Amino acid sequence: MPDNTQVLFKSHPQAMPIPDNFEIVHVDLPPLEEGQFLLENQYLSLDPYMRMLMGGGWTYSGPGMTPGQLMVGRVLGRVIETKNADYAIGDHVVGRLGWQSHAISDGTDLDFKVEARQDVPLSAYLGACGSTAITGWVGIKLVGKPREGETVLISAAAGSVGSAAGQIAKAMGCRAAGIAGGRDKCRLVEEVFEFDACCDYKADDLAGQIAAACPDGVDVYFDNVGGRVLDAALVNMNKYGRIPVCGVLSAYNDGGDRYGVENLHLVFDKTLNIQGFLLADHHDKWPEARAELEDMVASGAMKYRETIAQGIENAPEAFIGMLGGANVGKQLVKLV
């Protein structure tokens, strides 16, 4: 059996994680039992929810991690040994099997087996056809429900969920405006992901920028960040607008010094519907969403970017970078 390299959760970060919050270990793999198969993990997905799991306490993504535990994370793996007739050598699977180079599974802990297509790269099953793009699909199609011709505003628009959400809204005939950090990311959102406009939340007067980017006001605000960005979006919402709340990126590293949203009274004044949602609550829709996204990726209708770090040992650094905005699109680690 090969050597398994793992990244363990070592200690709770105070604010932004540091490399010392992680520990890299090498462990022996036990022999396979009947019904099990061995995976060589090829890509690891790095996601903001992992920062919440590092904080201890309650998180939307399950119980917080305890020191010494394998870092939680989704991987795309290839079967390299098998004692399970349903999983042949060479099959690819996606599952939340943790930050490690190898994993033993019996199939019950997986998200899905990849039905490989020539026109969809395997790494896309963790991003543009995977959980992040499906989150965008759920937030737009099932929660925000924009109608053709309406304006949809999306924060963290250069990231994995946001870039997909905007393109799904565009495919539904909506105007899509993004919010991202810095002029370069905004240019990418407009030129590569083909949003109609993008506002820079690191520049002055975000509310004014949104007003200029959304001349008819905002009907749906897909919120990935909360905080000051939500305040600026609230000012620009149209009456009866919808706000699917996908995440609160601005709070994950705040170290408990939480920003209080000032414009919540506008939820009443404008009769807004603000609704949190979880991808995990919509398991039944994943196959439909994935099939649609696969077709969009294959046809080129879904543009996507991946930021790929190399090697499991570099996962902590890549994760810290992603939380600080160093990524464009889906942050992955290539493991082989």
Note whether 123 binds ligand NAP by CB under 6 A. no
Cβ distance to ligand NAP smaller for residue 156 or 176: 156
234 binds ligand NAP (CB under 6 A): no
- Stretch of 4-12, 83-91, 211-219, 277-285 contacting ligand NAP, by CB under 6 A: 277-285
Rounded CA separation 115/102 (Å): 21
Touching ligand NAP, residues 279-318 (CB under 6 A)? 279
Interface with ligand NAP (CB under 6 A), residue from 5, 42, 135, 167: 135
How far does CA 90 lie from the centroid of its chain? 27
Q: How far is CA 73 from CA 47, 140, 203, in A?
A: 8, 24, 33
User: In the numeric block, which tokens belong to residue 108?
Assistant: 């019950």
Burial 99-135 (b: 16+ CB within 10 A, else e): bbbbbbbbeeebbeebeeeeebebbbbbbbbbbbbbb
Asked if 154 and 179 touch (Cβ cutoff 8 Å), the reply is yes
Which residue among 5, 21, 123, 160 contacts ligand NAP (CB under 6 A)? 160
| DSSP classification of residue 62 | S
Residues β-bridged to residue 70: 8
Which residues between 18 and 57 bind ligand NAP (CB under 6 A)?
47-49
Tokens (6 digits) for 131: 């959980």
Label the pairing between strands 92-95 and 110-113. Answer: antiparallel
Q: What are the structure tokens assigned to 91, written together?
A: 């099959």
According to CB under 6 A, which one of 143, 224, 243, 296 is a site residue for ligand NAP?
A: 224
Check binding of 181 to ligand NAP (CB under 6 A): yes
Q: Which stretch binds ligand NAP (CB under 6 A): 3-11, 143-151, 204-212, 243-251?
A: 243-251
Q: Which of 249, 266, 296, 332 binds ligand NAP (CB under 6 A)?
A: 249
Of the residues 55, 64, 107, 325, which one makes contact with ligand NAP according to CB under 6 A? 325
Query: Strand pairing of 330-334 and 175-180?
Result: unpaired
Please identify which residue in 4, 5, 42, 132 interacts with ligand NAP, judged by CB under 6 A: 132
Question: At closest approach, how far in Å is the CB of 306 from ligand NAP?
Answer: 10
Report the residue number, 38 or 248, with the smaller CB distance to ligand NAP: 248
Q: How far is CA 48 from CA 36, 250, 252, 292, 306, in A?
A: 30, 11, 8, 25, 15
Amino acid type, 4: N
Residue from the set 137, 247, 297, 306 that interacts with ligand NAP by CB under 6 A: 247
Q: Which is nearer to ligand NAP, 5 or 135 (CB)?
A: 135
User: Total residues contacting ligand NAP (rule CB under 6 A)?
Assistant: 27
CB contact at 8 A, 295 and 319: no
- The residues binding ligand NAP (CB under 6 A) are 47-49, 132, 135, 156, 158-162, 180-181, 185, 224-225, 229, 246-247, 249-250, 277-279, 322, 325, 327
